Amino acid sequence: QVQLVESGGGLVQAGDSLRLSCAASGSILSNYAMGWFRQTPGKEREFVAVISRSGDNRYYSDSVKGRFTISRDNAKNTVYLQMNSLKPEDTAIYYCAADRTTPWRASTTLHEYDYWGQGTQVTVSS
């Protein structure tokens, strides 16, 4: 029902910043809580951050708390992930996902999300 396309990934050095974008189409983005996940080879896709429909509530994994910020602009149908103080262990494919379940809760598991983007690669060199 909703299509998601991530962009903004790339190769950066440790300590640098990067902003990922997730553009939605096919539905009204404000109907969904939006999350970011990341995955490296041989590992389970892991939760990074989630934001509520209105943007009033946010929740982060401990590994990125204080460094990453999730935000959204519903008028632009876009969700962002601002990544600061990047570390080599942040290297992964980053995916955005849409969750249409209500009421709000901090969705941290894969099965709670209904739609996924194709992912964008983030590589952090030391």
| pLDDT tens, residue by residue, 5-21 | 999 999 999 999 999 99
Write the pLDDT tens digit of every residue in 55-66. Answer: 999 999 999 999
Write the pLDDT tens digit of every residue in 31-80. Answer: 899 999 999 989 999 999 999 999 999 999 999 999 999 999 999 999 99
DSSP the chain: --EEEEE--EEEETT--EEEEEEEESS-GGGSEEEEEEE-TTS--EEEEEE-SSS--EEE-TTTTTTEEEEEEGGGTEEEEEE-S--GGG-EEEEEEEE--SS-----SGGG--EE---EEEEEE-
Write the pLDDT tens digit of every residue in 67-117. Answer: 999 999 999 999 999 999 999 999 999 999 999 988 889 999 999 999 999
